[in-house]
Amino acid sequence: MTSRPRPVRTRKQPGERRAEILRTAAVIALEEGLERVTLRRVADELGVRPGLIGHYFPAADRLVSEAFSHAATEERGSLLPPAERGLAADVRLARFLVRLTDGAHRDLSRLWLDARHASRFRPGLREAVRAEESATRDALAELIEEGRSAGIFATGDALGAALHVLVTVDGLGVYANDDAPLDHPVLEGMAIATAERLLGLAPASLRDRA
């Protein structure tokens, strides 16, 4: 992991300082894992005292939960950019799946694995995971319904198709912690092939649309 330059310590407005803490915690969660998101670790990264972090996040569980939510929300925005809303639904879906499975989001796959495991013991994190899962599921179902209404996708159950695709993606994410994952073409294109089959699209058409 490459070291990041530490910001110069300055006096900041409460909202600005809290946002900075949250961004820093999210980066640590992505690069090092949720277990490394502690008041002291974030304070060290920002060059401040742990007491300052505790002022904004008195409970460590709150910091961990919000760090995960911040990272997951940023992920959703990068996978389904609002700027692409004017594109056809199949193009947006294709880009979503290619981005999600091209290896660039491996840290996020690891973060989701961490979060789902740790949420068994952290109620705040459990609620955050549920909320982010729901938001991503709803966004994908909305996209699929948009494509169905436009006659691009052939499905009578947009939510069911979204769930099927996301479960496939989550299954592939299990390999995110493996430094030498099973290398097989069927795994590389599984999520895209699943979406094509569910939505009545020709094989390989989604990747071409991306």
pLDDT at position 65 is 96
pLDDT digits (tens, 9 = 90+) for 144-178: 999 999 999 999 999 999 999 999 988 877 776 66
**pLDDT tens, 84-110?**
999 999 999 999 998 887 766 778 888
User: Do residues 197 and 171 touch, judged by C-beta distance below 8 A?
Assistant: no
Q: What is the CATH number of domain 68-209?
A: 1.10.357.10
State the pLDDT at residue 181. Answer: 55
Model-wide pTM > 0.85: no
Query: Does residue 210 carry a pLDDT above 90?
Result: no
DSSP string, 64-133: HHHHHHHHHHHHHHHHS-GGGTTS-HHHHHHHHHHHHHSSTTHHHHHHHHHHHHHTTT-HHHHHHHHHHH
Q: In the chain, what percentage of residues exceed pLDDT 90?
A: 68
Average pLDDT of the chain is 88
Q: What's the confidence (pLDDT) of residue 209?
A: 84
Backbone angles phi, psi at 186, to 5 degrees: -65, -35
- Give the number of other CB atoms < 10 A from CB of residue 77: 12
Give the pLDDT score at 82. Answer: 93
Q: What is the pLDDT of residues 113-155, one digit of tens each?
A: 899 999 999 999 999 999 999 999 999 999 999 999 999 999 9
Asked whether residue 1 carries a pLDDT value surpassing 50, the answer given is: no
Kindly report, residue by residue over 49-83, the tens digit of the pLDDT. Answer: 999 999 999 988 999 999 999 999 998 999 999 99
Residues 9, 47: contact at Cβ < 8 Å? yes
How sure is the predictor about 183, in pLDDT bands with cuts at 50, 70 and 90? low
